[in-house]
Amino acid sequence: MIHHHDAVSVIRAKRDGLQLTDGQIDWIVDAYTRGAVTDEQMSALAMAILLRGMNRDEIARWTAAMIGSGERMDFSSLTRPTVDKHSTGGVGDKITLPLAPLVAACGAAVPQLSGRGLGYTGGTLDKLEAIPGWSATLTSEQLLAQLDSVGAVICAAGAGLAPADKKLYALRDVTGTVESIALIASSIMSKKIAEGTSALVLDVKCGSGAFMKSDEDARELAQTMVDLGKDSGVRTVALLTDMDSPLGLTAGNALEVRESVAVLAGGGPADVVELTIVLAREMLAAVGMTDIDPADALADGRAMDVWRKMIAAQGGDPAADLPAATETEVIAAESSGVLARLDAMSVGLATWRLGAGRQRQGEPVQAGAGVEWHAHVGDSVRKGQPLFTLHTDTPERIPAAVAALKDGWTIAQEGKRASLVIDRIG
- Same domain for 198 and 88, yes or no, is yes
- Same domain for 164 and 116, yes or no, is yes
Question: With helix as H, strand as E and coil as C, how does the chain read?
Answer: CCCCCCHHHHHHHHHCCCCCCHHHHHHHHHHHHHCCCCHHHHHHHHHHHHHHCCCHHHHHHHHHHHHHCCCCCCCCCCCCCEEEEEECCCCCCCCHHHHHHHHHHCCCEEEEEECCCCECCCCHHHHHCCCCCCCCCCCHHHHHHHHHHCCEEEEECCCCCCHHHHHHHHHHHHHCCCCCHHHHHHHHHHHHHHCCCCEEEEEEEECCCCCCCCHHHHHHHHHHHHHHHHHCCCEEEEEEEECCCCCCCEEECHHHHHHHHHHHCCCCCHHHHHHHHHHHHHHHHHCCCCCCCHHHHHHCCHHHHHHHHHHHHCCCCCCCCCCCCCEEEEEECCCCEEEEEECHHHHHHHHHHCCCCECCCCCCCCCCCEEEECCCCCCEECCCCEEEEEEECCHHHHHHHHHHHCCCEEEECCCCCCCCEEEEEC
- Same domain for 299 and 334, yes or no, is no
- Same domain for 297 and 331, yes or no, is no
- Same domain for 275 and 405, yes or no, is no
Reported as a single tens digit per residue, the pLDDT across 36-83 is 999 999 999 999 999 999 999 999 999 999 999 999 999 999 999 999
Q: Which domain-ending residue is among 260, 280, 313? A: 313
Q: Is a pLDDT exceeding 90 seen at residue 403?
A: yes
> Comparing 267-281, 302-316, 337-351, 355-369, which segment has the lowest mean pLDDT?
355-369
- Same domain for 355 and 332, yes or no, is yes
Label residue 4 by pLDDT band (50, 70, 90): low
- Same domain for 224 and 283, yes or no, is yes
Q: Which domain holds residue 226?
A: 83-313
- Same domain for 284 and 217, yes or no, is yes
- The number of folded domains in the chain is 3
- Same domain for 286 and 151, yes or no, is yes
Residue 395, domain member (yes or no): yes
Residue 66, domain member (yes or no): no
Residue 69, domain member (yes or no): no
- Same domain for 286 and 334, yes or no, is no
Residue 419, domain member (yes or no): no
- Same domain for 119 and 214, yes or no, is yes
Residue 167, domain member (yes or no): yes
pTM confidence score: 0.94
The residues annotated as belonging to the active site are 86, 165, 172, 187, 191
- Same domain for 112 and 246, yes or no, is yes
Residue 418, domain member (yes or no): no
